[in-house]
Each structure stands twice: as C-alpha cells, then as structure tokens.
Structure 1
Amino acid sequence: MNNKRKNFLISNSILIAFIVIMVLVANYYLVSTFGFNQETFIAITLVLIILAVVLNFFLSKPLYEPLFRSDENLQKTIKETLHELNIPASTIQANSQMLEKNIKDEKNKKRLNRIKLATNELLNLYNQMEYEIKKEIDKIDKQEFLLDEIIENSIDKFEDIKGDVSIQNSIENIVINSDKNGFQKVIDNLLSNAIKYNIENGVVKIDFSNNTLTIFNTGKKIDTKNLFIVFEQYFQEDPKNSGFGLGLNIVKEFCDKNLIEIKIEPNENGTLIKLNLLKLIS
C-alpha cells in the first residue's frame, strides 16, 4: 500500500470516528432533553442523520479535494506526455515512408522496415494508453462503425496464428454505435479464445441474426459448472493454457457497461457465445 492510499485511509477513519462520536454525543443530549419514546424516536433519528450528513460534507471536503486535485494533475501530465510522444513517433513514421521510396539497397530496406514496425508498435501503444486513460475518466466518445469491419480486422490479426482453424464469417453491413476501440477488444478476445480452445482442423463460425452476434467454435465444450465463474478475473478452465485469465473478464466488463447481454452456451460440438447488440444498433 502506497503512502497516499495509507494516509487517505487513516484520515478517512479518523473522520468517520469523529462523526460517530459527535452523533453519539448529540444522541445523548437529545435523549436526555426530550426523553426516548416512540414519539421522539423519528425526530431524534432525523436530526442525527442530518447532523451526520452535514458534518461529513464540511469535514470531508478538505480531505478529498487534495486527492482529486492530485488525480487531475496526474491525468493532465500523462495526457501531455502522451501528446509529446505522439509527435516524434508520427514524424519518424512519415519520414520512413518518404525514405522507403528512395532506398534500393536490400539491407537498408530491411533496417528501414524494422524502424517502421517499431514505430507502428509505438503508435499502437500510444493509442492504447490514450484509450485506457479516457476509459478511466469516462470520456470515451461513441461513434458509428460497421460490425463486419470490426470482425474482419480481428480475423486479420489472428491470420498468422490460427493455424489450421477455419474461420467462417457471414456478417454483413450492420451499423453499431458504441465505443469502437473497446468493442474491437471484445471481438479480439472472443475470437482469440475461439481459436485457442479449438481442435485440430476446427472451425469458428461468426453469424448475426435477430440483433445477436454469435461466435461458435468446435472443440471441448465448457464445463457447465464453470458457467457461473467463467467471467471472473484470472479464471482459466485449463491452467495449462497460456495467458492470465483476463480476456473474458474484460469482455464482461465492457458488455455490462454498454448494455450488451452476453451468454455462453455449451454445445455438443463446442461452445457458442451470444452477444445481444440491440442497444447498440443504429
């Protein structure tokens, strides 16, 4: 536990203890003055509640304000730093593209390509950090995008690692209004799991009907007893698999926040995941 959190907990505990003592003193005074019976109970209780709220409001303000100010300053610093990082990375990327036209030597082309890959990775990290900051302060802008575009982007990402798994996508032009970055992460995680837990020469089927996106993968079906805990953080049905068990937890968090009903249904030939996108369809 860092000092900032420790000091806050100590200060907050002292504040609560002080308010409780003040309320108890007020209670003793009111009961001594008016007596304690059925008629005075409600009046005394209301007075004590109001006293506790007023004390908490005025006494907690100087306690919380420095904390909020510190967080605001930290967010501002991170945003400014990210902005400054984006400028040189974008400059490197632009100049690399210009140099690529004039370089003929194969060795130099390979070196330049490594620079481009590293720059793209840096820009991806920048975009991810920017997104995570916006998500923490609830400033994610919703936008319209095509569901098939998100699905195709995800399929392309896993093209080199899907092996002999066949991915069948029948999604057409469905317009979604949501957090595009977050939605992309949901599809990436679900498709990653569908590939990871598949069988040799297995299949992943992606369909859409009745406002519901379905992702089915062949293979061992999920154990029914695990359906209640599958979305918990760090859960892994098979500990031998790589990863940290965070994927479905991230998916569930996004779905809950964006009013997406998600269901996992064990199937005789594998596992079926359903996402009800009714609330997101434009």
Structure 2
Amino acid sequence: MKKVEKESLLKSFLLFFFSQALLIGALFFLNYKKDIQTLDEKIFSQMRICSFNLQCKEYGIAFVPKKKQELYRLYRDNDLLSSYFTIPGSQKNYLKIYLPKQKYEQQLISLRKQAISAFLLVLFVTALLSFAFALYALSPLRNALRLTEEFIKDILHDFNTPLSTLRLNIAILEQKYGEVANIKRAQNAVQTILNLQANLRSYLQAHTNQQEEFFLDTVVQERVELFATSFSDITVKVMKTDVLLLTNRDAFVRIFDNLLSNALKYNKKGGSVTIYVENENLIIQDTGKGIKNQKRIFERFYKEQERGIGIGLHIVKKLCDELGIAIVLKSKVGEGSRFALNLHPIIKR
C-alpha cells in the first residue's frame, strides 16, 4: 500500500471512528446517569419496604426526633444515604432508614465496571467497522491510482522507441557535422525528456526496502561530471568528504540530479554551484535567480520559470520522505538558493 493510500486510510478511519466514539460515549454517559438514578430508586424502594417490616439486613434503622425532615425522600449525607418515614402512633419521632456510603459506593463501582466493559466492547466493534468502512471508501482511490500508474507506465514504454531513434539519428548527425549548436540543442531536448522519464519512473517506484552502501563522494563526482559538460559557463565547486551512505542509491541519485539540474539550469551566466557537507547535511548552493514562493515550491506542477513542467522538486520531496531525509530550503530572489539534505538517517555508522 502506497503512502498516499495509507494516509487516506488512516484519515478515513480516524474520522469515522472518533465521530462514532464521541456519539457512543455520550450515549453511554447518559445511560450511566440513568442507571445511577435507577439504583437510587431501587434503594429508596427497599427502604420503604423496610419501613413496614423492619426486616432489612443491609440497611440501618434509627429513631430520630421530629424536626424539619422531609418524609419519603432520599437524603445524601457525607457518610450515608437515608430516608425518613412516619411511625404509627408516634408524634415525636421519625423512623430513619439508612445505607452506609461505603456499601453504596461498592454498588456504584460495580455499575461503573459494567458500563466501562460494555463501552470498551462496543468501541472495539466500532473500530473494526470503522476500519472496514475506511477500506471500502479507499477502494475508488486505489483503483484510480492504479489506472493512473498503468497509464504512465504505458506512456513511458511507448517513449522508448522514438527516443532511441532520436538519439541514434542525433549521434549520426554529430559524427557527420561535428558539434553544431542545433544538434547540441536537440541533444539537450532529448536529455530533458529522458530526465522526465526517469523522474516519472522514480515517482511510481517504492524505494524504502532497496538499500545499499555507497560513498557520497562517488555519486556527487559522477553526477557533476555528467551535468557540468552541458553547462560550461557555470562553475561547480565540490568539497570532498568520506561519508558512507546506506539507502536506495537510485532514489538518492534522482534527488541529487534534480537539485543539481535546477541549480545549473536556473543559474546566472557565469554563476556557480557549491556542493559540500556540513553537520551531516548535504548542501547544494547556487547563485541563481532564487525562489519567490518557498512554501509552494514542492507542490506538484508549481513552477516559477517557463521551463519545465513543475514536478521535479515535488518528486524530490516525495523521495526524501520515502528515504527519511529532511530537506530545507533557503532562498533569496536575485541571490540564489540553498538546499540542505539531512543525511543523518541514512549515514552508515
């Protein structure tokens, strides 16, 4: 199950479960209060019967002087529950029948345990029903995602033949005419399509379970050499490090490629890109145009330049989340941007 599916499942489950739990809790609370009232009525009824035959083991009996006591009413004192009744032929005293508060509390505890047990049982059944409902509600989303993925995979597969033909013909033209500007632009355009193809493949794959050890320097040097040839006017400074990583290499390369590609593409003429490690953070800093809306930069299809389609940094954020890498952006328009990748979770100790 993909991350977006898990999030949707969890949200649907929590929404349905907590709404039902609140309703069930309110109903059980009202029912508990009603049970207490029923218990009080039962106690008072037993006291009335006791006032006739005086045969009641659980209740105490006393004769008290008449004052302003209200007859046939259940009193709640600090230590006991009591009620007053008339004594036939007596003008001075009332019959007081009482129940010690300790015995009353014991009955309340028993009542409370029954209510809590029933509530937990109903809550458990509600949780199962909520999970089943969330799974059922998720099925249309899963079907839509599956259809989208299959469509993208078909498109990517269909790209292979025309792209291979283009690359072959461009290579033939380059051998025939040498390094011509038009041929170079065609090569760059094909490379852009290939990068997009690689991004989409990475977007569809899960990378958390595929891990391998590799040195950060090796990846950085390989990718810089690959990209720098197409941006000869940009200076790339790489500070060496001996950091060993344990993570999915393809996903990490895709993250680095997107960040490096953006740093080169949107840089100033004669600008620079600096790559170094600081406090277990991989820093990619450029002297480019900068980013205006930093809060939206990782949103899908959001872009501030005419070039591209706005999914590169969205894929970077998705892959970073999958690998457990925190990414932080600092940017100032006209001065450049600084991306920091926290490598702490993937550094091999």
1:159-238 → structure 2 map (5 Å cutoff):
160=230, 163=233, 165-171=234-240, 174-188=243-257, 190-191=259-260, 203-208=272-277, 212-215=281-284, 232-234=295-297
Which AA in structure 1 matches 2:144?
Answer: L
Unaligned runs of 5+ in 1: 1-8, 221-228, 236-240
1:251 is displaced (CA, Å) by 6.0
- Report the counterpart of residue 66 of structure 1 in structure 2: 136
Separation in 2 of the partners of 1:118 and 1:199? Answer: 20
Which AA in structure 2 matches 1:206?
Answer: I
1:128 is displaced (CA, Å) by 2.1
2:348 equivalent to 1:277:
no
- Whether the aligned pair in 1 keeps the contact of 2:203 and 2:315 (CA below 8 Å) is no
Separation in 2 of the partners of 1:133 and 1:98? Answer: 28
What secondary structure sits across from 1:129 in the alignment? helix
Which AA in structure 2 matches 1:134?
Answer: Q
TM-score when scaled to structure 1? 0.56
- Report the counterpart of residue 33 of structure 2 in structure 1: 31
2:198 equivalent to 1:127:
yes
* Cα pair distance change 1:30/1:127, threshold 3 Å: same
| 1:66-86 Cα deviation digits (max 9, x unpaired) | 333333333433343344334
- Whether the aligned pair in 1 keeps the contact of 2:284 and 2:339 (CA below 8 Å) is yes
2:329 equivalent to 1:258:
no
Q: Greater CA radius of gyration, 1 or 2?
A: 2
- Whether the aligned pair in 2 keeps the contact of 1:82 and 1:126 (CA below 8 Å) is no
- Whether the aligned pair in 1 keeps the contact of 2:282 and 2:342 (CA below 8 Å) is yes
Separation in 1 of the partners of 2:310 and 2:167? Answer: 39
1:41 is displaced (CA, Å) by 5.3
Separation in 2 of the partners of 1:169 and 1:196? Answer: 18
Separation in 2 of the partners of 1:197 and 1:106? Answer: 32
What secondary structure sits across from 1:233 in the alignment? coil
- Report the counterpart of residue 90 of structure 2 in structure 1: none
Which AA in structure 2 matches 1:76?
Answer: R
1:132 is displaced (CA, Å) by 1.7
- Whether the aligned pair in 2 keeps the contact of 1:198 and 1:217 (CA below 8 Å) is yes
1:219 is displaced (CA, Å) by 9.5
Separation in 1 of the partners of 2:282 and 2:210? Answer: 23
| 1:129-164 Cα deviation digits (max 9, x unpaired) | 2322335xx76633444423542425643665584x
CA RMSD of aligned residues (A): 5.6
Separation in 1 of the partners of 2:193 and 2:266? Answer: 30
* Cα pair distance change 1:149/1:106, threshold 3 Å: same
* Cα pair distance change 1:149/1:208, threshold 3 Å: same
Which AA in structure 1 matches 2:253?
Answer: Q
- Report the counterpart of residue 159 of structure 2 in structure 1: 89
Separation in 1 of the partners of 2:188 and 2:288? Answer: 35
| 1:161-200 Cα deviation digits (max 9, x unpaired) | 584x522113367543323354335435654676689888
- Report the counterpart of residue 76 of structure 1 in structure 2: 146
1:54 is displaced (CA, Å) by 1.5
- Report the counterpart of residue 122 of structure 2 in structure 1: 51
Separation in 2 of the partners of 1:160 and 1:101? Answer: 16
Separation in 1 of the partners of 2:268 and 2:183? Answer: 39
- Report the counterpart of residue 223 of structure 1 in structure 2: none
- Whether the aligned pair in 2 keeps the contact of 1:158 and 1:192 (CA below 8 Å) is no
1:57 is displaced (CA, Å) by 1.9
Q: Which one has the bigger helix percentage?
A: 1
- Whether the aligned pair in 2 keeps the contact of 1:93 and 1:116 (CA below 8 Å) is no
* Cα pair distance change 1:50/1:134, threshold 3 Å: farther
Which AA in structure 2 matches 1:129?
Answer: L
Separation in 1 of the partners of 2:203 and 2:226? Answer: 23
Number of residue-to-residue matches in the alignment: 255
TM-score when scaled to structure 2? 0.48
